[in-house]
Structure formats: C-alpha cells, structure tokens
Amino acid sequence: MIVVPDTRDLARVDEALRQFGSWHVTLTADLGPAERYRRWLTALRGAAPIVAGTRAAMFAPVRDLGLVVLWDDGDDLHAEPRAPYPHAREVLALRAHRAGAAALIGGFARTAELAQLVTSGWARPLCCAPPMSPLPAIPPGARRRKSPSPNIPTRRCPCLPRCASNHR
C-alpha cells in the first residue's frame, strides 16, 4: 500500500508501477463513486496486490498486507479535516503493526511525530549514506564570514537530492 499527498504524486507512482505490469490499482476521490468502488473491490478480492492512492487509500482492503509506504507525512493533505480526524501516518502505522507488516514513512524532512516514533524505538531511521561527522564548532570570538565556504561539508545525504535526513 502506497499513500501520497496528492494526485500529482500519485501519477508519478502510477507511472513507475506500470513498468512492472498491471498489478496495482490507484484510488483517489476524483475517480467518482462507481470507478472508485470497482477499484476498491479489485483490491478486496486480491486481484491487485498493490494499492496506491491519496489519503482515503489508507483504508483500502489490501490482502496480506506486507508493506505500507507513506510519502511526505508532514503534508497537510494526509490529515482528514473532518471528525474523527485520522492522519494517514497513524492509520498506516497501526495497520502495519496489527498486520505484522513493514512501514516506510519518508519525506523531505522528519516530522516531530515521526521523530517520536524513532525515539520510542518503534521506528528506525533509514538513509542510504553513512553518517557524516558534525560540522566543526566556531571558536568563541572568531569572525563569521558573510558567505559560507564551499569547502564546508553539508549534512544533506549526497545520493538523494532532497534528502533531509540529519544522519543521527
């Protein structure tokens, strides 16, 4: 199960999944009731083992749930604005826990809620680059430069252009 914030992100996921065949369905509110229900039944019957969609797809009836993926958990579109206000992050984490499935929650930055899951030990940080050494401290009384030196290493992951991991 893959949940993304909006239909633009879903179009990218759909395009990537199509390269592997037609083993998936996409669910969005824009489909209309008849088409949405047809795809819902496809997932329920197990005819499509992969379900990708926007916020409402978090409730899709996926058989043998093995992995839940949530992209950009800090995006406001993942929070339902109507009561009981479920957030895709919490629903998917609970579904993964109850099903014994893996959960992959990622984004451009680590949210406070995700940091709490890591701190509690429920989740572990995942990054493809080894931890970088901390930046050197500026000695007291040293003059600060107006522009940063190009030789100072960054804390950004070198293999993903927008990775915001702090590598701790």
Chain-centre distance of CA 66, in angstroms? Answer: 16
Tell me what percent of the residues of the chain surpass a pLDDT of 90. Answer: 63
Report domain extents, the chain. Answer: 2-119
Burial (CB count <10 Å: 0-12, 13-18, 19+), residue 67: middle
DSSP structural state of residue 153: P
pLDDT at 64 over 70: yes
Distance CA 156, CA 148 (A): 15
Q: Which amino acid is at 16?
A: A
Q: What is d(CA 37, CA 76) in angstroms, rounded to the nearest whole number?
A: 25
CA distance 166 to 94: 26
pTM, 2 dp: 0.74
- Residues 55 and 87: their CA atoms lie apart, in Å, by 8
| Residue 73: predicted pLDDT | 93
- Render pLDDT for 110-165 as a digit per residue (tens, 0 to 9): 899 999 999 999 999 887 655 555 555 656 665 555 444 444 444 445 444 444 44
CATH entry 3.90.550.10 includes domain 2-119: no
- What are the tens digits of pLDDT across the range 7-53? 999 999 999 999 988 789 999 989 999 999 999 999 999 999 999 99
